[in-house]
């Protein structure tokens, strides 16, 4: 079976809806951008998008079968990701009243942080697997798989770059700075809750 344009458009529609839904990635890139600046936000988005596209590749290659055969691998990834989310939440809460630093966030660290956040959420792969089963036919060629993964990566990168550009405007940054303790504690609470949910849910 070969990939069609209609299938790719349907996949992109579902993906955009998922990207627009508030979640850990949205909170993370928002904080990264308003605290570290435009470059840090774009780099964080690059990390988030790269990890998400790699989860889609894993889904296309059938990694969910491995999770079903060896449930402990999924559990280990989920707990590791939950601990990372909780760690971010604790650090965000602790530094809620700290002023924004003037030193820019190194791009490499921002990319790595974004990748770790999305790699720590194997449910992203399960979501991708569910969408792929519904949208795409079985038996896709390697070239079609490459197109789907590259398309996913580019769409995520475009979305997060646009978001970082919007969030890095002086008006948005000033608004964030004025309400930083409130925003940071809301973000910390939500990220911590997501981490706890990953640990507690079966």
Q: Give the domain ranges of the chain.
A: 5-86+125-176
- pLDDT tens digits for range 24-81: 888 889 888 888 889 999 999 999 999 999 999 988 888 767 777 778 877 887 788 7
- pLDDT tens digits for range 87-101: 888 988 888 887 765
Q: What is the 3-state secondary structure (H, E, C) of 51-67?
A: HHHHHHHHHHCCHHHHH
Closest by Cα among 61, 39, 43 to 149: 61
Cα separation of 93 and 8, whole Å?
A: 40
Cα separation of 195 and 79, whole Å?
A: 8
Transcribe 115-147 into DSSP letters. HHHHHT-THHHHHHHHHHHHHSPSS--HHHHHH
Q: Is the pTM of this model over 0.75?
A: yes
Q: Tell me which H or E stretch contains 97.
A: none
């Amino acid at each position: 079976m070969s990939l069609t344009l209609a299938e790719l458009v349907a996949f992109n529609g579902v993906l955009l809806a998922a990207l627009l839904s508030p979640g850990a990635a949205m909170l993370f890139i928002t904080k990264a951008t308003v605290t570290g600046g435009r470059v840090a936000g774009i780099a964080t988005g690059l990390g988030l998008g790269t990890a998400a596209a790699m989860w889609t590749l894993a889904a296309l290659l059938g990694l969910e079968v491995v999770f079903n055969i060896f449930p402990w691998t999924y559990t280990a990834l989920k707990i590791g990701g939950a601990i990372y989310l909780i760690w971010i939440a604790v650090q965000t809460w602790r530094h809620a009243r700290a002023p924004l630093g003037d030193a820019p966030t190194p791009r490499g660290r921002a990319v790595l942080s974004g990748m770790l956040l999305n790699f720590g959420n194997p449910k992203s792969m399960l979501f991708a697997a569910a969408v792929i089963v519904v949208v795409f036919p079985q038996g896709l060629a390697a070239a079609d798989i490459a197109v789907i993964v590259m398309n996913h990566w580019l769409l995520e990168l475009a979305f997060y770059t646009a978001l970082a550009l919007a969030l890095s405007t002086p008006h948005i940054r000033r608004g964030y700075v004025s309400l930083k303790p409130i925003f940071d504690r809301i973000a910390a609470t939500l990220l911590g809750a997501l981490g706890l949910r990953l640990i507690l849910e079966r």
